[in-house]
Structure 1
Amino acid sequence: MAVIDTLGLPNTKGRRPLIVAQVVDALGTGLFLPFAVVYFHAAKGIPLTTVGLMLSAGALLSLPAGPLGGRLIDRLGPRRVLVSSNLLRVLTFTAYVFIDTPLQLVGLVMVTMWGDSLFRPAVSALVAQVADDGHRARWYAMDRSLRNAGIGVGGLVGSTLVGWGGTSGYTAVVVLNAVSFLAAAGLVATWRPSAVPPPAGADPVPAGKAAGEPRGGYREVLADRPFLGVLATVWVFALCDLALTVLLSAYVIEGRGLPAWQPGMLFAINTVMVVLAQTALAKAVERHRRPRVLQVAAVLWMVSFVLIALVPREHVGLAFGGLVLGMVVFTVAELLQAPTSSALIVGMAAGHLRGRYLGLEELMWSLAKVLAPTVFTWLLARGAGLPWFALCLCCLAAVVVLQRLRRVLPARVQRETVRG
């Protein structure tokens, strides 16, 4: 147990099937994620521009999924929603094998994204129910670490299958992803939460609406003015996080004319740091006030954006050194922000409204995913450094909002008492 605590890991007794389910899910996601665009082009013969429109349309049509998922979580419980989201994606990924017209695929992509948007708040709500007192941030940190490791391994396996099998390899990747969702759903569905003693003061694990439980809806959630401030910071941090996947490669290769191998190395640095350091860093800051931790993350992100924006075009080695330093700082900010934001939102939410709080968090992420590609590329076309400096301004605004939240949020929300 001492080693587990040193590593910043939570107590997993009685909850291991949930962890295995997350790893299996992440492995399957890692199989497909690197080929999400290429699959529809190479295996289905659809032009890349049409694929881009399909994915954007699917993202737009899936925006209501987060708020709807939040309501379902509060009514049915996170475990049922989690299982349903995985089964939904089993159906869509199986259908990808047999359908090849763009219009039909848009519908499948939309349903897949609905499944994704149901899955994420359901996982967060389930963790909030099963985590020991004061260790929610550790659970969110462990989840991120395992997902990154699973996605990394899955990406390697997927690359091998595609390189070895060509079009058949793409089909194998899609089928294995469907199988991973089915296995994850089975593990969660057959897990017996009664084997886990509930944390003190926690909601009962098999969530559903109990008799006499307070009623509430999104009107009550939206009346929580401090939470609206937190949502604003979630949107800013989502844009910061998406800069890694949406902006970085285009900036390095097109904006700075640097070698195409550099973004891959930067992604690898980020992944390794998340896998190795996420839980330990979450433990190191768990006694600090969450808004303060998020302010530090915002400042570190600003530092990383300035470092990345100022790399020289002329000197490849010096530029890569600057990018590596920027990526290290970026990743530390990411490690501080992700579990802390999740724990803060869960701490603010009353038990009967937790799903709705998390559903609105998911909506902020979905809006960022819709806007980021257009805004980042538009700014990049007008100046290589503009997207990074725009993100700095967003982070500065988040620091101001968080300073106000430090004054108005109750102490129990800002910092959980760590036990055991």
Structure 2
Amino acid sequence: MALTDTLGLPNTRGRGPLIVAQVVDALGTGLFLPFAVVYFHAAKGIPLTTVGLMLSAAALLSLPAGPLAGPMIDRFGPRRVVIAGNLVRVLTFTGYVFTDVPWQLVLLVTLTLAGDSQFRPGAAALVAQVADDGQRARWYAMERALRNVALGAGGLLGSVLVTWGGTAGYTGVVALNAVSFLAASALVATWHPPHTPAPLTAPAPAPAPAVKRAGYKEVLADRAYLGVLSTVCVFALCDLALTVLLSAYVIEARGLPSWQPGVLFAINTVLVMLTQTMVAKAVEHHRRPRVLQVAAVLWAVSFLIFAAVPEGSAGPAFAALVVGMVVFTAAELLQAPTSSALTVAIAPEHLRGRYLGLEELMWGVAKVLAPVVFTWLLTQGPGLPWLALGACCLAAVAVLNRLSRALPARAVRETVDA
């Protein structure tokens, strides 16, 4: 058995530039992401409360970008949309350097988030287009593992630049991020899919049947997919709990040492890097709704563990948090590639962009809701956010149980993908 198959990696022959582009994109994102709030405060002199309002306003304004990207993907193809999403972010990150006016920064951040929302469904559709049959989940898993590596490396490089360069270091981080998006655009633009010559004796191709024009009305009529979207929103909230909720819960609500969240994040990152592709391979022939149900149950268990963490007792509390993080990561490893592959498998090819655009919208809604809902629940009781998330996961299990009978056969198992 080839090493690549043992590790759960897909066939990447002829697709190297796409992989490098993803890594470069993630490296630049990792440079800036940990310092986004601090950059606008330290380098631009904007009060922290104003920065928070700016970012929230931009997140709300950019919500339509995902659904708008869908028709663009279906009409112009995912490759062009990926390139355009990266070029938008080249312009916005360049703009960050030259202005410190809050309303102008809100506009730039909105466009940046719109570029993100354009890039993600475009990249998912591009993977669906270039992956070999039966290997889409592997591609999504590999992409996620590589992005974790690149995000971590970018974060370390950004820390060095900020520590040594001060305000100039922040500017360097922003400029390098713009360069990374430009390089990623160039890699995708110059890549051409491998061409398989037609046999010499092949008959003349028949005229392609006309594809009827369709839009979001047809997507919204797909009741099974609407059920899938409800689970996407739940899983997005679960995923965001790691970045939005965990640190505040550990340090503020439980009074534990400030080093603990960083170690927990490191555990999550390392596990994803080392095992994501192998987990995707292990479950690729199982029913997708069942895999997602297992992920939801594991998430619910992890949230119960987090909610039960004792206050102030650093040793036992940290042990419980580590166990909770391992279970949390196991849920992530199952859900992330499976959800992406499920959406692509459900969607008719001529509507794939719109299906992915609505999935992106659910992530956008979750990003708007998570900070407000999680912090409010945390003020009402330390364990309430985790218990609420656990209840949402159990609801997702019930929805997926009904969907397993309603989904088309092509969506249920990887082996029947087109």
What range is the shorter-chain TM-score in?
Answer: over 0.9
C-alpha contact (below 8 Å) 1:72/1:81 kept by paired residues: yes
Q: Which residue of 1 aligns with 2:317?
A: 319
**Aligned 8 A contact 1:15 1:196 in 2:** no
Asked if structure 1 preserves the Cα contact closer than 8 Å seen for 2:410 and 2:416, the reply is: no
Could you say what the CA RMSD is over the residues aligned between the two structures, in angstroms? 1.3
Q: In structure 1, how many angstroms separate the alpha carbons of the residues matched to 2:408 and 2:162?
A: 52
By how many angstroms is 1:161 displaced? 0.4
- Which aligned pairs between 1:218-233 and structure 2 lie closer than 5 A? 218-233=216-231
Q: CA deviation digits over 1:27-75, x for unaligned, max 9?
A: 0000000001000000000000000000000000000000000110001
Contact between 1:10 and 1:139, CA under 8 Å: does it hold in 2? yes
| CA 1:183–1:387: 2 relative to 1, 3 Å | same
CA apart distance, 1:410? 2.7
Distance 2:394 2:197 in 1: 42
1:398-413 equivalence runs, <5 A: 398-413=396-411
* Equivalent runs, 1:21-32 vs 2, <5 Å: 21-32=21-32
1:288-367 correspondence to structure 2 within 5 Å: 288-367=286-365
* Counterpart residue identity of residue 32, structure 1: F
Report the AA paired with residue 356 of structure 1: R
Q: Which residue of the partner structure matches residue 237 of structure 1?
A: 235
Q: Structure 1 residue 213: deviation in Å? A: 2.3
**Whole-Å Cα distance in 1 between the matches of residues 25 and 238 of structure 2?**
25
Name the aligned partner's letter for residue 352 of structure 1. Answer: H
Query: What does residue range 83-98 of structure 1 map to in structure 2 within 5 Å?
Result: 83-98=83-98
Q: Alpha-carbon deviations, 1:4-27, whole Å to 9, x = none?
A: 000000000010000000000010
Kindly report structure 1 stretches of 4+ aligned residues shifted beyond 4 Å: none
Contact residue 14 and residue 195 of structure 1 kept, 8 A: no
Mark the runs of 5 or more structure 1 residues left unpaired by the alignment: 199-209
Corresponding residue for residue 284 of structure 1 = 282
Work out the CA distance in 2 between the residues paired with 1:147 and 1:196: 30
Q: State how many pairs are aligned.
A: 408
The answer for the alignment partner of 1:267 in structure 2 is: 265
**Gapped regions of structure 2 (runs ≥ 5):** 199-207
SS of the residue aligned with 2:414? coil
Equivalent residue number for residue 187 of structure 1: 187
Separation in structure 2 between the aligned mates of residue 418 and residue 61 of structure 1, nearest angstrom:
39
Supply the distance in 2 between the matched residues of 1:33 and 1:116 (Cα, whole angstroms): 13
Q: Residue in 1 aligned with 2:45?
A: 45
Percent sequence identity is: 75
Distance 1:231 1:286, change over 3 A: same
1:206-247 CA distances to partner (integer Å, 9 max, x unpaired)?
xxxx87223210000000000000000000000000000000
Matched, 1:155 2:155: yes
Please report the TM-score for the alignment, with normalisation by the length of structure 2. 0.96
Superposed CA offset, 1:251-281 (max 9, x none): 0001101000000000000111111110000
Deviation at 1:412, TM superposition (A): 2.1
**Residue 196 of structure 1, CA deviation:** 6.9
| Alpha carbons of structure 1 residues 196 and 231: separation in structure 2 relative to 1, 3 Å | farther
Letter of the 1:67 counterpart:
P
SS at match of 1:35: helix
Write the distance in 1 (CA, Å) between the matches of 2:125 and 2:197: 17
- 1:418 Cα shift? 7.6
Match of 1:215 in 2: 213
Distance in 1, matches of 2:212 and 2:134, equals 25
Instruction: Note if contact 1:214-1:352 (Cα within 8 Å) is conserved in structure 2.
Output: no
SS at 1:371 equivalent: helix
Residues 11/379 of structure 1: CA separation in 2 closer, same or farther (3 Å cut): same
**In structure 1, what is the equivalent of residue 135 of structure 2?**
135
Quote the Cα distance in structure 2 between the aligned partners of 1:218 and 1:78.
17
- What corresponds to 2:123 in structure 1? 123
TM-score using structure 1 length? 0.95
Task: Check conservation: 1:69, 1:355, Cα contact below 8 A.
Answer: yes
Cα distance in 2 for partners of 1:406, 1:70 equals: 25
Equivalent AA in structure 1 for residue 53 of structure 2: L
